[in-house]
Structure 1
Amino acid sequence: MSIPRAPLLLGLAGLIPFVWGAVTVLLPDLGMWTVRNIGARFAGPYVMLFYGAIILAFMSGVLWGFAAKLDAARAPTGYALSVIPALWAFLMTGGGPTGAGISLMAGFIGLLGLDWLFWRHGATPPWWMELRVMLSAVVLACLAVGAFA
């Protein structure tokens, strides 16, 4: 099944801060321009780290909504699992950009596993994993640039 246009376009638009961050790491002159003209938190790994923590928290809310669709026996576990990405972002993104970037990468990999679990139990739209795998691949690649470049 194909991904509906609105979720696809909004999901792709949500990649902009990650891609921008990676580009400003790979092109230091653009990174310096961004720091001078927009602000330091909008350049390099910092935009990806800040935005990545926000997205993990946002995805906790999405998973919470999916948990509400589970049967009564599975719903409590679904609710408990849904808060993990937000807690992960809160607890694991301190320290420098390398450690925080690696922690966010682990968080997004874990989120993909949670996405699969909710999808497997029929709580997501049928196209969910196609969208999530595509978006997660870009996020992980960008975070890797920020953490290791």
Structure 2
Amino acid sequence: MISMVSDRRLAWGLGLAGLLPFIGSSIAVWVAPTVWKVSSIYAFTYYGAVILSFLGGIHWGSALQVPRANNARRLILAMVPSLIAWPALLFSPVTGLWVLLAGFVLMGGYDISREGREGFAPWYLKLRCVLTFVVAICHLCVLWRLAA
């Protein structure tokens, strides 16, 4: 029981810490000197692509660890975030950010679906909802700045 509680706290802590690059770079896009703003946009975009790919890996690992009837579909769907993230880096920053935002929203939707949440603890789904919400807000803030 102690291990499960500490694992949950660690996962929440790491998940929230993983928001720092999103939050920091989205703030920098607004307030940093011009030269840093450009770097912040690219840092935000690249980090977003990495994290979106990571979300697919979570489902890949889950499918390999626990036998389920829908594992083949889960393995295939686990590849989608990477196939969204990589091309997003090839587009203009605005287009790439919209593509990444769509990927995060779609992945969040899958995570809370009956199939996507199968095998995950309820606290993990709450964590994913919080993280997806903050990541989406950060994307919208950066996109708003690019539109200004």
TM-score normalised per structure 2 = 0.83
Give the Cα–Cα distance (whole angstroms) in 1 for the partners of residues 100 and 67 of structure 2. 27
Unaligned runs of 5+ in 1: none
Among candidates 50, 72, 76, match of residue 54 of structure 1: 50
Deviations 1:68-103 (A, max 9, x none): 3251x2110111111111111012332221111111
How far the C-alpha of 1:28 sits from its partner, in A, is 3.2
How many residue pairs get aligned? The number is 137
Aligned equivalent of 1:19: 23
Determine whether 1:130 maps to 2:126.
Answer: yes
Determine whether 1:94 maps to 2:122.
Answer: no
Among candidates 6, 9, 19, match of residue 5 of structure 1: 9
Unaligned runs of 5+ in 2: none
> Cα RMSD (Å) of the superposition?
2.0
Higher normalized helix content (fraction of residues)? 2
Structure 2 contact 46–89 (Cα < 8 Å) conserved: no
Any idea what SS the aligned residue of 1:127 has?
helix
Aligned equivalent of 2:140: 144
Deviations 1:93-140 (A, max 9, x none): 322211111111000001102212321x3x212212110110111111
- Aligned identity (percent) is 30
Any idea what SS the aligned residue of 1:60 has?
helix
Give the Cα–Cα distance (whole angstroms) in 1 for the partners of residues 98 and 67 of structure 2. 32
Q: Which amino acid aligns with 1:101?
A: L
Give the Cα–Cα distance (whole angstroms) in 2 for the partners of residues 113 and 137 of structure 1. 11
